[in-house]
């Protein structure tokens, strides 16, 4: 990442609610908030929005009305992306062989066809 001011957790904590919803380009039923757009731009992580949007086509994931997504990045720059039902029942887990995502961990919610930061819920 070449940005002099990389994404931080405190950057994301500033988002409460959203002024705009942005429609996903390929999964038109999925939208995302200002905070998620900021995360994707600043963290160069539109791929993360894609992963969550595409997962909505998977039966076990789509069956969950509320989803809690977590991305945990290891020191070797591999990661694991998990989706739970919000009550610690894992419905999807995907290894990510390589990522340059700047945070060691991020939580994201998905509900009512909207991807959002926990602070925006």
* CA 115/CA 121 separation, integer angstroms: 10
Would you say residue 4 has pLDDT above 90? no
The predicted model gives 46-75 an average pLDDT of: 98
* CA 109/CA 75 separation, integer angstroms: 24
pLDDT confidence of residue 1:
46
How does DSSP classify residue 86? Answer: S
pLDDT confidence of residue 50:
98
* Per-residue tokens: 18: 């959203």
Cβ–Cβ contacts within 10 Å for residue 121, how many? 12
Kindly report the average pLDDT of the chain as a whole number. 96
Among the four given CATH numbers 2.70.98, 3.30.420, 2.60.120, 3.10.450, the one describing domain 18-120: 3.10.450
The predicted model gives 96-119 an average pLDDT of: 98
The predicted model gives 102-111 an average pLDDT of: 98
Q: Which of 9, 41, 16 is nearest to 105 (CA)?
A: 9
pLDDT confidence of residue 5:
75
- What is the band of 40 on the pLDDT scale with cuts at 50, 70, 90? very high
| Model confidence pLDDT, tens digit, residues 81-90 | 999 999 999 9
Give residue limits of the domains in the chain: 18-120
Would you say residue 3 has pLDDT above 80? no
- What pairing do the DSSP bridges indicate for beta strands 31-32 and 66-73? unpaired
Backbone angles phi, psi at 47, to 5 degrees: -60, -30
């Amino acid at each position: 990442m070449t940005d002099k001011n990389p994404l931080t957790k405190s950057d994301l904590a500033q988002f409460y609610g959203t002024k705009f919803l942005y429609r996903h380009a390929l999964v038109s039923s999925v939208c995302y908030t200002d905070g998620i757009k900021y995360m994707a731009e600043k963290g160069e992580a539109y791929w993360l929005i894609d992963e969550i949007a595409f997962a909505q086509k998977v039966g076990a994931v789509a069956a969950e009305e509320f989803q809690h997504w977590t991305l945990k990045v290891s020191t070797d720059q591999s990661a694991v992306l998990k989706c739970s039902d919000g009550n610690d029942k894992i419905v999807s887990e995907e290894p990510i062989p390589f990522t340059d995502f700047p945070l060691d961990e991020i939580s994201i919610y998905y509900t009512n066809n909207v991807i959002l930061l926990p602070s925006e819920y």
